[in-house]
Chains A and B, each alone.
Chain A
Amino acid sequence: MSIRHGLLALLERGQMYGYQLRAAFEESTGSTWPLNIGQVYTTLNRLERDGLVRPLPEHEGGQRPYEITDAGRADLALWFATPISRADRPRDELSIKLALAMTTPGVNVRAVVQTQRSATMRTLQELTRLKYASDKPEDLPWRLVLDAMVFQAEAEIRWLDHCETSLVRYRPAPRAGPPARSGAPEHTDEEVHR
């Protein structure tokens, strides 16, 4: 997602100036994505350059409101209509870290997993508290943002549980000579069925 589409969506509600946009952006994402005013104005300049918004005459207070153009509306409609590709998201540092932990000598991988699970579990508790505290009907957009984060945290914990179960069964191949082929963990019945 880009800030740009966030601002276009807000301007679709009506004309706004920079500080109003920032406040509305933070409100609609429950302050999970804080913006600084510099980012707002840089983005507005780019949107203006691309013909997606246009500036209006300054208010008496010196604030210049912006409004969305027809081209901006079309861009926004396209954004809403297009699914987000997983490939567009940042690389997952956690899975890379775990993979590296398994191949780095002297790292206690189960402790890395446990530490991450504790942290993610705490995040999940905090998110749930926020949800519990926002149960008014008008809180729904915010609750759905929270739900998205809750489901992501849950998925991460499930994956960590899976990693831990797999680690119990994992016996690294001896490292003598050329690197051994990975992906063939040995199973010890005793440990698997314990």
Chain B
Amino acid sequence: MTVAGRPVLDLRDVHRTHGSGEAAVHALRGVSLSVAPGELVAVMGPSGSGKSTLLTLAGGLDSPTAGDVLVEGESLGALDRRGLARLRRRRIGYVFQDLNLLGSLTAAENVALPLELDGVGVRAARRAALAALAEVGLTGLGGRFPDQMSGGQQQRVAIARALVGERRLVLADEPTGALDSQTGEAVLHLLRRRVDAGAAGVLVTHEARHAGWADRVVFLRDGVMVDATAPLASVEQLLAGSGR
């Protein structure tokens, strides 16, 4: 769990507002977050605190109202649609809560899809997909369709799809979903291993037990970030007025 080098993900004073005027909802209000290679950051917070918004901005699936999002030093706001799509395919792995596997494709085809979309040849993409499936413990199951697999196996396929190739940034939104605790833990183990191998990871979760896998835990409340593992408050702060 070493942390070093230029940040893979860098959010700089990011704001995201939905709507305008009195109906405006400030999903994020001035959030800054750097994630280095080899670092896994967990984002916690109550429902509606801005966790998922943060992840969609980091993944280039949405744009900030103000502020900047950089992936490996490249500002997402400066890229055109094609450039953004290419960056997403090559450098960012996304694990969604609802896996988003295509039911008409086999496990290996699902995993190979982002590579093929990126112009990688069918054979090379398949080789990489089978290697990614092996990494998540699904050797020999590449030919199965999602509905022929258990929930845990499907989740592993989704992880393999996020890890395939040389993705440097892995974004996971409640990746353990409705999995039982053992299977959920296996998923986090995989994520941790990939991060230890040099990727940067952001894990959105509402479960403290899962956040325990991270190097750093940040807490979002009403669109504002507080470090949940910051140094302890001083005695003076604790006793400084009621604050409530």
List which A123-155 residues lie within 8 A (CB) of chain B: 124-125, 127-129, 132, 135, 150-151, 153-154
Any B CB within 8 A of the CB of A22: no
Q: Closest chain B residue to A168 by CB distance?
A: B244
Verify A118–B232 contact, CB threshold 8 A.
yes
Verify A106–B239 contact, CB threshold 8 A.
yes
Q: Closest chain B residue to A135 by CB distance?
A: B189
Verify B229–A111 contact, CB threshold 8 A.
no
Q: Closest chain B residue to A194 by CB distance?
A: B222
Specify which chain B residues have a CB less than 8 angstroms from the CB of A151 in the assembled complex.
209
Q: Check A115/B192 contact, CB under 8 A, given A121-B228, A125-B214.
A: no
Verify A125–B217 contact, CB threshold 8 A.
yes
Specify which chain B residues have a CB less than 8 angstroms from the CB of A111 in the assembled complex.
233, 237-238, 240, 243
B117 vs chain A, min Cβ distance (A): 34
B 210-233 binary contact with A (CB < 8 Å = 1; else 0): 011111010000100010111111
Specify which chain A residues have a CB less than 8 angstroms from the CB of B20 in the assembled complex.
none
Verify B244–A115 contact, CB threshold 8 A.
no
Specify which chain B residues have a CB less than 8 angstroms from the CB of A105 in the assembled complex.
242
Q: Which of A107, A135, A165 has the most CB of B within 10 A?
A: A107
Any B CB within 8 A of the CB of A79: no
A114 CA / B189 CA spacing, docked (Å): 28
Verify B209–A150 contact, CB threshold 8 A.
yes
A135 CA / B207 CA spacing, docked (Å): 22
Verify A132–B209 contact, CB threshold 8 A.
no
Any A CB within 8 A of the CB of B1: yes
Any A CB within 8 A of the CB of B208: yes
Verify A124–B208 contact, CB threshold 8 A.
yes
Specify which chain B residues have a CB less than 8 angstroms from the CB of A119 in the assembled complex.
232
Any B CB within 8 A of the CB of A19: no
Any B CB within 8 A of the CB of A64: no
Specify which chain A residues have a CB less than 8 angstroms from the CB of B207 in the assembled complex.
154
Verify B230–A107 contact, CB threshold 8 A.
no
A 79-116 binary contact with B (CB < 8 Å = 1; else 0): 00000000000000000000000000111111110110
- Report the interface size for chain A: residues with CB under 8 A from the other chain: 34
A119 CA / B217 CA spacing, docked (Å): 12
Any A CB within 8 A of the CB of B241: yes
Specify which chain B residues have a CB less than 8 angstroms from the CB of A107 in the assembled complex.
238-239, 242
B236 vs chain A, min Cβ distance (A): 10
A127 CA / B213 CA spacing, docked (Å): 9
Q: Check A110/B229 contact, CB under 8 A, given A125-B212, A128-B212, A150-B209.
A: no
Verify A170–B233 contact, CB threshold 8 A.
no
Verify B228–A117 contact, CB threshold 8 A.
yes
Any A CB within 8 A of the CB of B46: yes
Any B CB within 8 A of the CB of A58: no
A150 vs chain B, min Cβ distance (A): 6
Specify which chain A residues have a CB less than 8 angstroms from the CB of B208 in the assembled complex.
120-121, 124, 153-154, 157-158
A 47-83 binary contact with B (CB < 8 Å = 1; else 0): 0000000000000000000000000000000000000
Verify A170–B46 contact, CB threshold 8 A.
no
The 6 closest A-B pairs by CB, nearest first: A128-B212, A124-B212, A108-B243, A157-B208, A154-B209, A115-B233
If A121-B211, A124-B209, A153-B209 are given as contacts, then 17 extra A-B residue pairs at C-beta distance below 8 Å, sorted by A number, are A106-B241, A107-B242, A108-B239, A108-B241, A110-B244, A111-B237, A111-B243, A112-B238, A115-B232, A121-B208, A121-B229, A125-B211, A129-B1, A132-B192, A135-B189, A150-B209, A153-B212
